[in-house]
Structure 1
């Protein structure tokens, strides 16, 4: 590899680590693992009372087992972004939080995880379609 390519790769790695540390991301050092090199977990919280009214309504619907407005509500959330704590597939389910004035699902979601759908162990709110999450607390 020539010096220019080596310097370019080193710069990309350094920039990625700088961005990761700015975002509070924990980098892993094990190169032989199948785990992602960067994992994140929501550290921010949002009070249930601070959710938009439609989000509070969705939390009530989750605990009642529905009915839900959208067909995708209650389906498995794969956590492909790996922003939530790792669990087996099927642990998380997603629900749409309607945005007033939109004729489509929008970007707001609640993702809940647990073995009992109506009594989840943890729920998370995202208003930016899975780019960031806040854990919902009472």
Structure 2
């Protein structure tokens, strides 16, 4: 038995985007994470440094293992939260995400 009902319109998922942000505009915790990355650790969480799979294909397409993710501590959060720095293999190829809206911002270190 097939049952048909009224059509339901669902909102489209948020569009994936890569923007840019000035290094000076990042939260203090992101600067702490960048410092940890530059010094090779120690890191805040054991998952820091894991391969970022880029499953949503938001960042430029690269081979698996090209991107790595690091936690940006969220004050007041009892877990890792959703903020991350994603690093690519090129020098200063770093992205910041709040984990919302499937968006990433390439960090501009010149401002």
Task: Report the TM-score, using the length of structure 1 for normalisation.
Answer: 0.65
CA–CA distance in structure 2, aligned partners of residues 133 and 63 of structure 1:
20
1:79-116: per-residue Cα shift (whole Å, max 9, x none)? 0110000111111000000110011001100100006x
From the superposition, tell whether residues 130 and 86 of structure 1 become closer, same or farther in structure 2 (CA, over 3 Å). Answer: farther
Could you say which residue in structure 1 is the equivalent of 2:54? 79
Could you say which residue in structure 2 is the equivalent of 1:94? 69
For the residue of structure 1 that corresponds to 2:34, the secondary structure is helix
Count of matched residue positions in the alignment of Structure 1 and Structure 2: 102
CA shift at 1:48, angstroms? 1.1
Could you say which residue in structure 2 is the equivalent of 1:56? 31
State yes or no: 1:136 paired with 2:99: no
CA shift at 1:128, angstroms? 2.1
Could you say which residue in structure 2 is the equivalent of 1:68? 43
Are the counterparts in 2 of residues 81 and 130 from structure 1 also a CA contact under 8 Å? no
Question: 4+ runs of 1 displaced by more than 6 Å?
Answer: none
For the residue of structure 2 that corresponds to 1:133, the secondary structure is strand
Which is greater in Rg? 1
Task: Report the TM-score, using the length of structure 2 for normalisation.
Answer: 0.80
CA–CA distance in structure 1, aligned partners of residues 82 and 52 of structure 2:
14
Could you say which residue in structure 2 is the equivalent of 1:124? 95
Write 1 or 2 for the structure with the bigger share of helix: 1
